[in-house]
A and B are shown apart, each in its own frame.
Chain A
Amino acid sequence: DAKTTQPPSMDCAEGRAANLPCNHSTISGNEYVYWYRQIHSQGPQYIIHGLKNNETNEMASLIITEDRKSSTLILPHATLRDTAVYYCIVRAPFRTGTASKLTFGTGTRLQVTL
């Protein structure tokens, strides 16, 4: 799986958009970008994933550059509850009948402040 690089920490004011970058310059053609987050002392929570098109769900938006070498997770209106460590993970797609491991990097610690 391709390696990812994320800033170690970021701050964001409550109500503002949080934009979390991720570099994955060695990503290969069939690898997806997944984002998880981990709130303190809890298990990771899936946020979103994408291949090459931008994706949006009720939690966040994922913007992937055209060359796919980087992506940005956007939390449109951050709240205090969004304070967590955010992990960007690149890996091959899950396929029916198989399951593959996720390799967690160090992630970005997002602190949302009043």
Chain B
Amino acid sequence: GAVVSQHPSWVICKSGTSVKIECRSLDFQATTMFWYRQFPKQSLMLMATSNEGSKATYEQGVEKDKFLINHASLTLSTLTVTSAHPEDSSFYICSASHGGQGQFFGPGTRLTVL
């Protein structure tokens, strides 16, 4: 149990385009989902926390208008990187939680912006 999937697993896009990444909890209802970003040889950095049906809470320094998060259902959250640029190239990881059951991580999405 407690499986989290992400789609796509990798994506390459041109600079200036937008990219949407999906995070799904497959066998449980996730009241809260988290989005992390990880640059090469660095640790995971939390970008935002989203609760189903409400606006996401962004960490300091993360642009909410650039990284749009939607958590419309208890099993799906999406992260849209708008007007992507090469510096947005990174490994994006989501996690899902249902209160006391802890956090379960997705496999990650590697974004490359050309």
B13 sits at the interface (CB 8 A): no
A95–B101 Cα distance when bound, in Å, is 8
Q: Are A46 and B104 also in contact (CB < 8 A) when A95-B99, A97-B99, A99-B97 are? A: yes
A99–B107 contact, CB under 8 A? no
Closest Cβ neighbor of A42 among chain B residues: B107
Q: Are A41 and B91 also in contact (CB < 8 A) when A101-B34, A101-B49 are? A: yes
**Total interface residues on B, using CB and 8 Å?**
27
A46–B43 contact, CB under 8 A? no
In the complex, which residues 91-114 of chain B have their Cβ closer than 8 Å to any Cβ of chain A?
A: 91, 93, 95, 97-108, 110
In the complex, which residues 12-61 of chain A have their Cβ closer than 8 Å to any Cβ of chain B?
A: 36, 38, 41-46, 49
A94–B104 Cα distance when bound, in Å, is 12
Which of B45, B49, B100, B108 contacts A41, CB < 8 Å?
Answer: B108
In the complex, which residues 1-34 of chain B have their Cβ closer than 8 Å to any Cβ of chain A?
A: 4, 6, 31-32, 34
A102–B91 Cα distance when bound, in Å, is 17
Chain B interface secondary structure, helix, strand, loop or mixed? Answer: strand
Residue among B4, B34, B44, B97 with max Cβ neighbours from chain A (10 Å): B44
A9 sits at the interface (CB 8 A): no
Which of A96, A104, A105 contacts B99, CB < 8 Å?
Answer: A96
Which of A95, A99, A104 contacts B43, CB < 8 Å?
Answer: A104
A103 sits at the interface (CB 8 A): yes
A99–B96 Cα distance when bound, in Å, is 9
A104–B44 contact, CB under 8 A? yes
- Seen from chain B, the residues whose Cβ lies within 8 Å of a Cβ on chain A are 4, 6, 31-32, 34, 36, 43-46, 49, 91, 93, 95, 97-108, 110
